[in-house]
A and B are shown apart, each in its own frame.
Chain A
Amino acid sequence: MKSLRNFLNRIKPNFEPGGKLHAFHSVFDGFETFLFTPNTTSTSGVNIHDSIDSKRVMIIVVLALMPCLLFGMYNVGYQHWLAIGETDFPFWQLMAYGFLAMLPRIIVSYAVGLGIEFMVAQWRKEEIQEGFLVSGMLIPLICPIETPLWMIAVATAFSVIFVKEVFGGTGYNIFNVALVTRAVLFFGYPSKMSGDNVFVPVNPICGLGNGTPVDGFSGATPLGQIATNVGDTLKITNVVGQDISSWDMFLGLIPGSVGETSTLCILIGAAILLLTGIASWRIILSVFVGGFVMAAIANAFATPTYPVSLLSPVDQLMLGGFAFAAVFMATDPVTAARTDTGKYIYGFFLGAIAILIRTYNNGYPEGAMLAVLLMNSLAPAIDYFVVQSNIRRRMRRLNANAE
């Protein structure tokens, strides 16, 4: 570590004002603070600071996403193997296939997003902010595996620039950057974001998974199948037409966007976020409560006109992006409600609206994305009323005093 430190000390003058590489000052600073905790000490106020900083906060969220990412890779391979009619599933080959499918997506997302962050930081003469570490991991996890790379690049760039940087960077954005990326993809390239052919890769990668899809193959997600369901009973099948059980849904061995299929892994991620106190338990809890209540209401008035309403409330919470949104999207502290009371309201409505959209709009089988974006826009209004109640209490006290 000593030699690394000495190396940094030696090259540091190049990046300082007047140095040859001053144009890359923010980048150098970003790497230096990544490698070594900055040793600037406090000049005002408190003389000691808590060990936590925004790097650690962001890294813990990335860590919490790892179970979803790893399982997502496995599942990408699994769905492919299933599609080509294999009956045995060699673990490492499946993992390797999924890894090779995911790697370019992760690289593109980080390269585009961090590249823009670095440039903007340099231009504003600020330190590089860590927010995109999380967004960059979320983006490949919430997109279908077959999304073309250039689309991911375009949508990520649009989202980082127009949703985050124009508002002032991390901490000032109104909408969740990763979800706007997905929304841009969804509305810009709808044919690549839904349907039967985007969630399950059918081509071999680097010689892995050779084979052609079996007859009757359909890569539709369970929610996609339900949306076109006819009759009083639901029939959900996997890509080769076998029935899917609730247990499969919980484990996540179903088609869907990479990170969102496994409720189990999402719950592991939630446990990491809650034990470390990084995510708000108020939001996560109330999203699930809101979703459950709405799903129960829909189920109580189940009708074949809206086939999603035939699902049991528990299945509703396990399918699609609901759980993933509850744990990783709704809890984004910047775009969520910031007051404690506000978080309950925000989460409840988010959960309820996600199920509402998904159930009563047959053309649109997933509601979580739009629900989060809608609630992002309403979060300041919710906080406004909570803050107003604090103000009213103070005014009442003042008036009571005056009498």
Chain B
Amino acid sequence: MAKIVTLKKGLDIKIRGAAADAAPITVKPATCAIVPDDYSGIVPKVDVKEGDSVEVGSKLFHDKQFTDIVVTSPIAGTVTGVIRGERRKLERIVITPAEDAGNSITFETEGINDRTRAQQLLLDSGLWALLRQRPYNIVPAPGAAPRDIFITGFDSAPLAPDFESMLSPRINELNKAVKLLQKLTDGKIYLGIRQGSCLASVEGVEHVVFEGPHPAGNAGVQICNVKPVNKGDIVWTLDATTLLRIGKLLSTGRLDTDTLVAVTGCEVTTPRYVITKIGADLASILKGNVNDDAIHHRIISGNVLTGTHESPEGYLRYPYYQVTVIAEGDDFHEFMGWASLSPRKMSFSHSFPGHFLNKLFCPDARLQGGRRAMIMSGIYEKVMPMDIMPEYLIKAIISRNIDRMEQLGIYEVAPEDFALCEYVDPSKLELQKIVQEGLDYLRKELS
């Protein structure tokens, strides 16, 4: 019998525009791009130049320190852009697919029977770069074995995609992937699932059923409620889609870069699922499916809480399997919004009638107020189901006090764990940014 963890704190934000359950349609991307910033912890060294032709699984760039960590191409085609920004920082590598975009490098998957080989297979195929380690939420360094591995089997974010129908016919491949992961750690492999998930039949893992609202699906929350990270511990995290990619690699020897994406949000005409490639361009994914109204739109790669704000020419970013389009709101002047009793105002606070209505909302991207010092207390705690004192940790980070950050559990958190706190905050503080800066600072000072 799986362990059941019931989380009371948290918040399911009710937004209109959930993807319909119908069968996904396939979208062939016009271009794909890999953004090195999505692979936190990696300092990219480019391995390709414009005009090179690549196959699925070809090396695009590697890490400066751990040269074995590579990020590989999701499609076969031609490198049409190595885009650099300020101070020649690599911003993205753009690949235009060839006629046969499926041409793939074949990886040797036989005889993977020890830790070194298992690590090497993941590194070579580029799947390693999809793993994350706590602390810091970065791509793990090769070599060391983690204390445990945590797999998040569901996404609880607003309008998040449901992977059950994709995963349920693939249990064999998932089992294979788990066997490989077992070689990588001496500890346990935990799989966090919802009640009734098809993942309950995956073997070789310790199932933990999480009940309760978002952020129940966050790796940090699951770890904290199962076996928290202590100073000095390293655990790895990955999601079920990555687990499936490992399984398919083991079965076929080829890198599977198909990705199920939920196209969601109020400004999407037909919210639906699409199957496309890792790093696909958003224009292809959204073609003809964004409301044709006069208002400004915000296109988000990911969910409304943690996703990145992209231009219409942007790309699907890792680790997201979701594209959300909402109103931007900068072209909208609301008269005395602070006094509003409109039921359309979405809020966690009881002071808005909308809080008590069982309806779906269409929020826009406005801050809805001015940035202030931390005034109200006890609000972050209501949406943080972790044994963390968010306000004090944030203050420790702002004051760059390393001892205090460690004492208050900075190793247990990632910016995404503070996303709901940031959403409900009446002072509109940039908590995720603060946490990310704190983690970067800590990593720099302690290395």
Interface residue from B233, B298, B347, B408 paired with A51 (Cβ < 8 Å): B347
Q: Does B312 contact A (CB under 8 A)?
A: no
In the complex, the answer to whether B432 meets A46 with C-beta atoms within 8 Å is yes
Q: Interface readout for B328-369 with A: 1 if CB under 8 Å, 0 if not?
A: 111111111111100001111111101000000001111111
Which of A74-82, A208-216, A337-345 is the contact stretch?
A337-345
Q: Shortest CB–CB separation between residue B325 and chain A, in angstroms?
A: 11
Chain B residues, CB < 8 A from A336? 377
Q: Which residue of B lies closest to A280 (CB)?
A: B378
In the complex, the answer to whether A39 meets B422 with C-beta atoms within 8 Å is no
In the complex, the answer to whether B364 meets A394 with C-beta atoms within 8 Å is no
Interface residue from A47, A51, A401 paired with B307 (Cβ < 8 Å): A47
Interface residue from B370, B373, B419 paired with A46 (Cβ < 8 Å): B419
In the complex, the answer to whether A45 meets B430 with C-beta atoms within 8 Å is yes
Q: Which residue of A lies closest to B147 (CB)?
A: A401
Q: Does B326 contact A (CB under 8 A)?
A: yes
For the complex, give the distance between the alpha carbons of A50 and B337 in Å.
12
Q: Does A391 contact B (CB under 8 A)?
A: yes
Given A52-B349, A54-B375, A390-B408; A127-B370 close (CB under 8 Å): yes
Given A47-B365, A52-B347, A171-B372; A338-B426 close (CB under 8 Å): no
In the complex, the answer to whether B338 meets A53 with C-beta atoms within 8 Å is yes
For the complex, give the distance between the alpha carbons of A36 and B328 in Å.
16
For the complex, give the distance between the alpha carbons of A275 and B392 in Å.
27
For the complex, give the distance between the alpha carbons of A49 and B364 in Å.
8
Interface residue from A41, A60, A171, A338 paired with B373 (Cβ < 8 Å): A171
Chain A residues, CB < 8 A from B230? 394, 397-398, 401
In the complex, the answer to whether A45 meets B431 with C-beta atoms within 8 Å is yes
Interface residue from A44, A46, A170 paired with B304 (Cβ < 8 Å): A46
Given A50-B347, A51-B352; A131-B365 close (CB under 8 Å): no
In the complex, the answer to whether A53 meets B423 with C-beta atoms within 8 Å is no
Chain B residues, CB < 8 A from A52? 347-349, 351-352, 368-369, 424, 426
Q: Does A395 contact B (CB under 8 A)?
A: yes
Q: Which residue of B lies closest to A277 (CB)?
A: B350
Q: Does B41 contact A (CB under 8 A)?
A: no
In the complex, the answer to whether B351 meets A276 with C-beta atoms within 8 Å is yes
For the complex, give the distance between the alpha carbons of A169 and B333 in Å.
28
Q: Does B83 contact A (CB under 8 A)?
A: no
Give the most central of A49, A56, A275, A397: most B CB within 10 Å.
A49
Chain B residues, CB < 8 A from A131? 375
Count B-side interface residues using an 8 Å CB cutoff. 76
In the complex, the answer to whether A51 meets B349 with C-beta atoms within 8 Å is yes
Given A49-B428, A398-B230; A171-B336 close (CB under 8 Å): no
Interface residue from A47, A168, A278, A390 paired with B300 (Cβ < 8 Å): A47
Chain B residues, CB < 8 A from A395? 407
Q: Does A57 contact B (CB under 8 A)?
A: yes
In the complex, the answer to whether A387 meets B351 with C-beta atoms within 8 Å is no
For the complex, give the distance between the alpha carbons of A46 and B428 in Å.
10
In the complex, the answer to whether A38 meets B367 with C-beta atoms within 8 Å is yes
Count A-side interface residues using an 8 Å CB cutoff. 60
In the complex, the answer to whether B422 meets A45 with C-beta atoms within 8 Å is yes
In the complex, the answer to whether A54 meets B426 with C-beta atoms within 8 Å is yes
Q: Does A297 contact B (CB under 8 A)?
A: no
In the complex, the answer to whether A60 meets B375 with C-beta atoms within 8 Å is no
Q: Does B376 contact A (CB under 8 A)?
A: yes
Q: Does A242 contact B (CB under 8 A)?
A: no
Interface residue from A37, A168, A340, A390 paired with B337 (Cβ < 8 Å): A37
In the complex, the answer to whether B338 meets A56 with C-beta atoms within 8 Å is yes
Q: Does A154 contact B (CB under 8 A)?
A: no
In the complex, the answer to whether B381 meets A50 with C-beta atoms within 8 Å is no
Chain A residues, CB < 8 A from B370? 33, 38, 53-55, 127
In the complex, the answer to whether A5 meets B333 with C-beta atoms within 8 Å is yes
List of 6 A-B pairs having minimum Cβ-Cβ separation, nearest first: A53-B369, A171-B373, A37-B337, A45-B432, A338-B377, A55-B338
Residues of chain B whose beta carbon lies under 8 Å from any beta carbon of chain A: 13, 15, 228, 230-233, 298, 300, 304-307, 309, 324, 326, 328-340, 345-352, 354, 363-378, 381, 387-389, 391-392, 407-409, 415, 419, 422-428, 430-433
Interchain residue pairs with CB less than 8 A apart (26): A1-B333, A36-B336, A37-B366, A37-B368, A39-B331, A39-B334, A47-B298, A47-B307, A47-B309, A47-B324, A47-B326, A48-B363, A49-B368, A52-B352, A53-B368, A56-B426, A59-B338, A171-B427, A276-B351, A333-B375, A339-B377, A340-B378, A340-B381, A343-B378, A390-B387, A394-B387
Residues of chain A whose beta carbon lies under 8 Å from any beta carbon of chain B: 1, 4-5, 33-57, 59-60, 127, 129, 131, 168-172, 275-278, 280, 333-334, 336-340, 343, 387, 390-391, 393-395, 397-398, 401
Extra 7 A-B pairs, beta carbons < 8 Å, given A52-B369, A168-B373: A42-B365, A50-B368, A51-B347, A53-B369, A333-B375, A339-B377, A395-B407
